[in-house]
Protein backbone atom coordinates (compact mmCIF):
# COMPACT_ATOMS: atom_id res chain seq x y z
CA UNK A 1 0.00 0.00 0.00
CA UNK A 2 1.43 3.44 -0.88
CA UNK A 3 2.07 6.02 1.84
CA UNK A 4 -1.19 7.96 2.41
CA UNK A 5 0.66 11.29 2.19
CA UNK A 6 1.92 10.76 -1.34
CA UNK A 7 5.37 11.64 -2.62
CA UNK A 8 8.56 10.98 -0.71
CA UNK A 9 10.41 13.88 0.92
CA UNK A 10 14.00 14.63 1.89
CA UNK A 11 14.92 16.62 4.97
CA UNK A 12 18.48 17.79 5.53
CA UNK A 13 18.28 20.08 8.57
CA UNK A 14 16.75 18.61 11.75
CA UNK A 15 18.14 18.81 15.31
CA UNK A 16 17.56 15.81 17.57
CA UNK A 17 16.83 18.18 20.47
CA UNK A 18 13.86 19.67 18.61
CA UNK A 19 12.53 16.63 16.82
CA UNK A 20 11.31 14.09 19.37
CA UNK A 21 7.56 13.88 19.93
CA UNK A 22 6.83 15.35 23.41
CA UNK A 23 4.92 12.20 24.45
CA UNK A 24 7.95 10.03 23.63
CA UNK A 25 10.31 12.45 25.40
CA UNK A 26 8.02 12.56 28.45
CA UNK A 27 8.16 8.79 28.67
CA UNK A 28 11.96 8.72 28.17
CA UNK A 29 12.38 11.29 30.97
CA UNK A 30 10.29 9.17 33.35
CA UNK A 31 12.09 5.95 32.50
CA UNK A 32 15.29 7.64 33.65
CA UNK A 33 13.80 9.20 36.75
CA UNK A 34 14.61 12.74 35.69
CA UNK A 35 13.12 15.37 37.97
CA UNK A 36 11.26 17.71 35.67
CA UNK A 37 10.23 21.26 36.58
CA UNK A 38 6.73 20.72 35.11
CA UNK A 39 3.82 19.50 37.25
CA UNK A 40 2.07 17.60 34.47
CA UNK A 41 2.39 16.53 30.83
CA UNK A 42 0.84 19.71 29.42
CA UNK A 43 3.22 21.93 31.33
CA UNK A 44 6.03 19.75 29.96
CA UNK A 45 4.82 20.26 26.38
CA UNK A 46 4.80 23.97 27.11
CA UNK A 47 8.38 23.76 28.42
CA UNK A 48 9.84 22.19 25.28
CA UNK A 49 7.77 23.64 22.42
CA UNK A 50 7.17 27.03 20.87
CA UNK A 51 3.52 28.08 20.97
CA UNK A 52 1.97 28.55 17.53
CA UNK A 53 2.11 32.21 16.59
CA UNK A 54 4.38 33.19 19.49
CA UNK A 55 7.91 34.33 18.83
CA UNK A 56 11.01 33.93 20.92
CA UNK A 57 14.41 35.53 20.57
CA UNK A 58 17.19 33.40 19.09
CA UNK A 59 18.76 32.89 22.54
CA UNK A 60 15.39 32.07 24.18
CA UNK A 61 14.75 29.50 21.47
CA UNK A 62 18.09 27.81 22.12
CA UNK A 63 17.19 27.65 25.84
CA UNK A 64 14.36 25.22 24.97
CA UNK A 65 17.08 22.73 24.09
CA UNK A 66 18.32 22.76 27.68
CA UNK A 67 15.62 20.32 28.76
CA UNK A 68 15.45 18.15 25.67
CA UNK A 69 19.23 17.70 25.68
CA UNK A 70 19.25 16.80 29.37
CA UNK A 71 16.52 14.18 28.86
CA UNK A 72 18.38 12.77 25.86
CA UNK A 73 21.64 12.43 27.78
CA UNK A 74 22.06 8.67 28.16
CA UNK A 75 22.55 5.75 25.76
CA UNK A 76 18.97 4.56 26.33
CA UNK A 77 17.52 8.03 25.77
CA UNK A 78 19.58 8.78 22.66
CA UNK A 79 18.70 5.46 21.04
CA UNK A 80 14.99 5.89 21.75
CA UNK A 81 15.03 9.53 20.61
CA UNK A 82 16.76 8.83 17.29
CA UNK A 83 14.53 5.83 16.66
CA UNK A 84 11.40 7.94 17.32
CA UNK A 85 12.53 10.78 15.05
CA UNK A 86 13.40 8.64 12.02
CA UNK A 87 10.22 6.56 12.27
CA UNK A 88 8.08 9.60 13.06
CA UNK A 89 9.41 11.54 10.08
CA UNK A 90 8.35 8.69 7.83
CA UNK A 91 4.91 8.22 9.40
CA UNK A 92 4.03 11.91 9.74
CA UNK A 93 5.54 13.33 6.53
CA UNK A 94 6.77 10.44 4.35
CA UNK A 95 10.35 11.61 4.76
CA UNK A 96 12.39 8.79 3.27
CA UNK A 97 15.77 10.56 3.32
CA UNK A 98 16.52 12.14 6.68
CA UNK A 99 19.69 13.71 8.02
CA UNK A 100 19.50 14.11 11.76
CA UNK A 101 22.02 16.22 13.68
CA UNK A 102 23.05 16.40 17.31
CA UNK A 103 26.02 17.24 19.50
CA UNK A 104 27.25 14.09 21.30
CA UNK A 105 29.02 16.30 23.88
CA UNK A 106 25.63 17.72 24.87
CA UNK A 107 24.29 14.21 25.52
CA UNK A 108 26.90 12.89 27.95
CA UNK A 109 26.16 14.93 31.10
CA UNK A 110 29.43 16.81 30.98
CA UNK A 111 31.56 13.70 30.57
CA UNK A 112 29.71 11.57 33.12
CA UNK A 113 28.52 9.29 30.31
CA UNK A 114 30.84 7.67 27.80
CA UNK A 115 30.78 9.34 24.40
CA UNK A 116 31.16 6.11 22.42
CA UNK A 117 28.17 4.60 24.23
CA UNK A 118 26.11 7.66 23.31
CA UNK A 119 27.22 7.57 19.68
CA UNK A 120 26.69 3.84 19.22
CA UNK A 121 23.26 4.16 20.84
CA UNK A 122 22.31 6.82 18.28
CA UNK A 123 23.48 4.54 15.46
CA UNK A 124 21.40 1.71 16.93
CA UNK A 125 18.39 4.06 16.98
CA UNK A 126 18.83 4.70 13.25
CA UNK A 127 19.32 1.00 12.52
CA UNK A 128 16.15 0.01 14.39
CA UNK A 129 14.12 2.55 12.44
CA UNK A 130 15.63 1.32 9.16
CA UNK A 131 14.46 -2.19 9.99
CA UNK A 132 10.89 -0.93 10.35
CA UNK A 133 10.49 1.64 7.57
CA UNK A 134 11.69 2.03 3.94
CA UNK A 135 13.90 5.02 4.71
CA UNK A 136 17.49 6.22 4.50
CA UNK A 137 18.91 8.16 7.45
CA UNK A 138 22.28 9.62 8.39
CA UNK A 139 23.69 11.37 11.44
CA UNK A 140 25.46 14.73 11.47
CA UNK A 141 27.61 15.65 14.48
CA UNK A 142 27.34 19.29 15.58
CA UNK A 143 30.28 21.15 17.03
CA UNK A 144 29.32 24.11 19.22
CA UNK A 145 30.31 27.75 18.97
CA UNK A 146 30.52 27.96 22.78
CA UNK A 147 32.68 24.86 23.28
CA UNK A 148 36.45 25.16 23.21
CA UNK A 149 38.49 23.87 20.30
CA UNK A 150 39.65 20.79 22.23
CA UNK A 151 36.10 19.50 22.77
CA UNK A 152 35.07 20.34 19.23
CA UNK A 153 38.08 18.46 17.91
CA UNK A 154 36.97 15.35 19.79
CA UNK A 155 33.55 15.58 18.07
CA UNK A 156 35.24 15.67 14.64
CA UNK A 157 37.47 12.73 15.61
CA UNK A 158 34.38 10.75 16.62
CA UNK A 159 32.59 11.64 13.38
CA UNK A 160 35.60 10.37 11.43
CA UNK A 161 35.78 7.20 13.53
CA UNK A 162 32.09 6.44 12.91
CA UNK A 163 31.91 7.57 9.29
CA UNK A 164 31.28 4.05 8.04
CA UNK A 165 28.59 3.49 10.65
CA UNK A 166 26.11 6.14 9.55
CA UNK A 167 27.74 9.44 10.51
CA UNK A 168 27.71 11.42 7.28
CA UNK A 169 28.86 14.96 8.12
CA UNK A 170 29.93 17.57 10.65
CA UNK A 171 28.31 20.92 11.44
CA UNK A 172 28.88 23.91 13.75
CA UNK A 173 25.86 25.14 15.73
CA UNK A 174 24.97 26.72 19.08
CA UNK A 175 24.62 30.17 20.61
CA UNK A 176 26.62 33.16 19.45
CA UNK A 177 30.05 33.59 21.03
CA UNK A 178 32.19 36.67 20.32
CA UNK A 179 35.36 34.62 20.92
CA UNK A 180 34.39 32.10 18.24
CA UNK A 181 35.75 32.38 14.67
CA UNK A 182 34.92 29.98 11.85
CA UNK A 183 38.37 30.47 10.35
CA UNK A 184 39.99 28.87 13.42
CA UNK A 185 38.42 25.58 12.29
CA UNK A 186 39.94 25.48 8.80
CA UNK A 187 42.48 22.73 9.53
CA UNK A 188 40.01 20.62 11.49
CA UNK A 189 37.37 20.80 8.77
CA UNK A 190 39.95 20.02 6.13
CA UNK A 191 40.71 16.83 8.03
CA UNK A 192 36.99 15.98 8.22
CA UNK A 193 36.58 16.56 4.48
CA UNK A 194 39.64 14.47 3.62
CA UNK A 195 38.17 11.66 5.73
CA UNK A 196 35.12 11.70 3.45
CA UNK A 197 32.66 13.54 5.69
CA UNK A 198 30.22 16.12 4.35
CA UNK A 199 30.50 19.69 5.64
CA UNK A 200 27.53 21.83 6.58
CA UNK A 201 27.82 24.83 8.91
CA UNK A 202 25.23 27.05 10.60
CA UNK A 203 25.87 30.61 9.40
CA UNK A 204 23.93 33.64 8.20
CA UNK A 205 21.07 32.83 10.58
CA UNK A 206 21.47 35.10 13.62
CA UNK A 207 24.57 36.55 11.92
CA UNK A 208 24.90 38.69 8.80
CA UNK A 209 26.34 37.68 5.41
CA UNK A 210 29.96 37.98 6.57
CA UNK A 211 29.57 34.76 8.59
CA UNK A 212 28.60 32.83 5.45
CA UNK A 213 31.48 34.45 3.59
CA UNK A 214 33.92 33.33 6.30
CA UNK A 215 32.58 29.77 6.24
CA UNK A 216 32.85 29.59 2.44
CA UNK A 217 36.39 30.99 2.49
CA UNK A 218 37.82 28.85 5.27
CA UNK A 219 35.71 25.73 5.75
CA UNK A 220 34.79 24.79 2.16
CA UNK A 221 31.25 23.67 3.01
CA UNK A 222 28.99 21.56 0.81
CA UNK A 223 25.99 23.20 2.44
CA UNK A 224 25.16 26.04 4.83
CA UNK A 225 22.65 25.71 7.68
CA UNK A 226 20.14 28.55 7.10
CA UNK A 227 22.48 30.99 5.31
CA UNK A 228 19.59 33.33 4.51
CA UNK A 229 21.53 36.51 5.23
CA UNK A 230 23.92 35.58 2.43
CA UNK A 231 21.32 37.34 0.29
CA UNK A 232 22.69 40.66 1.59
CA UNK A 233 25.73 40.38 -0.69
CA UNK A 234 25.56 39.71 -4.43
CA UNK A 235 29.22 38.68 -4.73
CA UNK A 236 28.76 36.05 -2.03
CA UNK A 237 25.61 34.74 -3.76
CA UNK A 238 27.59 34.33 -6.97
CA UNK A 239 30.29 32.37 -5.11
CA UNK A 240 27.65 30.14 -3.49
CA UNK A 241 26.19 29.41 -6.93
CA UNK A 242 29.61 28.80 -8.54
CA UNK A 243 30.57 26.34 -5.81
CA UNK A 244 27.15 24.71 -5.91
CA UNK A 245 26.70 25.22 -2.15
CA UNK A 246 23.16 24.47 -0.99
CA UNK A 247 21.44 26.56 1.69
CA UNK A 248 19.31 24.63 4.18
CA UNK A 249 16.50 27.16 4.64
CA UNK A 250 14.15 26.75 7.65
CA UNK A 251 11.28 29.30 7.30
CA UNK A 252 9.19 28.61 10.44
CA UNK A 253 12.31 28.50 12.59
CA UNK A 254 13.56 31.82 11.21
CA UNK A 255 10.24 33.50 11.99
CA UNK A 256 10.04 32.07 15.51
CA UNK A 257 13.57 33.08 16.44
CA UNK A 258 13.07 36.51 14.88
CA UNK A 259 16.19 36.29 12.75
CA UNK A 260 13.87 37.49 10.00
CA UNK A 261 11.09 40.04 10.54
CA UNK A 262 8.37 38.38 8.48
CA UNK A 263 7.59 36.25 5.44
CA UNK A 264 8.10 39.26 3.20
CA UNK A 265 11.72 39.66 4.27
CA UNK A 266 12.32 35.94 3.80
CA UNK A 267 10.63 35.98 0.37
CA UNK A 268 12.95 38.85 -0.56
CA UNK A 269 16.03 36.78 0.34
CA UNK A 270 14.78 33.76 -1.63
CA UNK A 271 14.17 36.03 -4.63
CA UNK A 272 17.84 37.07 -4.48
CA UNK A 273 18.92 33.41 -4.36
CA UNK A 274 16.67 32.67 -7.33
CA UNK A 275 18.24 35.53 -9.28
CA UNK A 276 21.79 34.30 -8.59
CA UNK A 277 20.88 30.61 -9.03
CA UNK A 278 21.81 29.69 -5.47
CA UNK A 279 20.38 26.28 -4.61
CA UNK A 280 18.33 25.90 -1.42
CA UNK A 281 16.13 23.33 0.29
CA UNK A 282 13.29 23.74 2.79
CA UNK A 283 13.54 22.23 6.27
CA UNK A 284 11.93 22.33 9.72
CA UNK A 285 15.03 22.68 11.96
CA UNK A 286 13.04 20.94 14.73
CA UNK A 287 9.52 19.85 13.80
CA UNK A 288 8.23 18.95 17.28
CA UNK A 289 9.70 21.93 19.09
CA UNK A 290 8.26 24.24 16.42
CA UNK A 291 5.03 22.23 16.12
CA UNK A 292 5.30 21.79 12.39
CA UNK A 293 6.10 19.03 9.88
CA UNK A 294 8.07 19.22 6.66
CA UNK A 295 4.79 18.85 4.76
CA UNK A 296 3.26 21.85 6.56
CA UNK A 297 6.49 23.74 5.95
CA UNK A 298 6.31 23.12 2.19
CA UNK A 299 2.62 24.03 1.99
CA UNK A 300 3.26 27.16 4.05
CA UNK A 301 6.15 28.18 1.79
CA UNK A 302 3.81 28.21 -1.22
CA UNK A 303 0.94 29.83 0.70
CA UNK A 304 3.19 32.60 2.03
CA UNK A 305 4.67 33.33 -1.38
CA UNK A 306 8.18 32.10 -0.59
CA UNK A 307 8.27 29.67 -3.53
CA UNK A 308 6.00 28.56 -6.38
CA UNK A 309 4.74 24.99 -6.66
CA UNK A 310 7.25 24.34 -9.45
CA UNK A 311 10.09 25.67 -7.31
CA UNK A 312 8.99 23.39 -4.48
CA UNK A 313 9.68 20.38 -6.68
CA UNK A 314 13.04 21.89 -7.63
CA UNK A 315 13.94 22.38 -3.92
CA UNK A 316 13.09 18.72 -3.28
CA UNK A 317 15.32 17.67 -6.16
CA UNK A 318 18.18 19.85 -4.89
CA UNK A 319 17.79 18.42 -1.38
CA UNK A 320 18.05 14.89 -2.75
CA UNK A 321 21.15 15.82 -4.81
CA UNK A 322 22.83 17.56 -1.86
CA UNK A 323 22.14 14.81 0.65
CA UNK A 324 25.23 13.29 2.29
CA UNK A 325 23.57 9.88 2.40
CA UNK A 326 24.85 7.86 -0.52
ZN1 LIG B 1 19.73 24.41 12.94
* Helix, coil or strand: residue 314: helix
Residues of the chain with pLDDT under 70: 52-53
Please tell me the number of Cα atoms within 13 Å of 60 on its side-chain side: 13
Q: How far apart are the CA of 293 and the centre of ligand 1, in A?
A: 15
Q: How far apart are the CA of 89 and the centre of ligand 1, in A?
A: 17
pLDDT of residue 2: 87
Q: How far apart are the CA of 224 and the centre of ligand 1, in A?
A: 10
pLDDT of residue 53: 66
Q: How far apart are the CA of 15 and the centre of ligand 1, in A?
A: 6
What is the Cα–Cα distance from 146 to 22, expressed in whole angstroms? Answer: 27
119-174 pLDDT, tens digit each: 999 999 999 999 999 999 999 999 999 999 999 999 999 999 999 999 999 999 99
| Domain 9-322 bears CATH identifier 3.30.70.141 | no
Angle at 34 between CA 31 and CA 39, to 5 degrees: 105
pLDDT of residue 64: 86
Going from N- to C-terminal start, the domains of the chain cover 9-322
Q: How far apart are the CA of 12 and the centre of ligand 1, in A?
A: 10
* DSSP result, 212-231: HHHHHHHH--SEEEE-GGGG
Q: How far apart are the CA of 225 and the centre of ligand 1, in A?
A: 6
Q: How far apart are the CA of 2 and the centre of ligand 1, in A?
A: 31
Amino acid sequence: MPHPLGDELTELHVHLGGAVDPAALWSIAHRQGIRLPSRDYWEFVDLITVKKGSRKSFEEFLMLYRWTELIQSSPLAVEESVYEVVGGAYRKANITTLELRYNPMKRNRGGEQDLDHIIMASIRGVDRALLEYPVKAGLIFCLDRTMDMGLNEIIVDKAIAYRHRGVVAVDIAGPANPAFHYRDYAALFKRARQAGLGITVHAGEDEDWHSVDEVVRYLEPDRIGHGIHAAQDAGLCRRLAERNILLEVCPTSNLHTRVVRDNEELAGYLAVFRKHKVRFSLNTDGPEMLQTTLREELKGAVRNGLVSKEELAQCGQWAQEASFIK
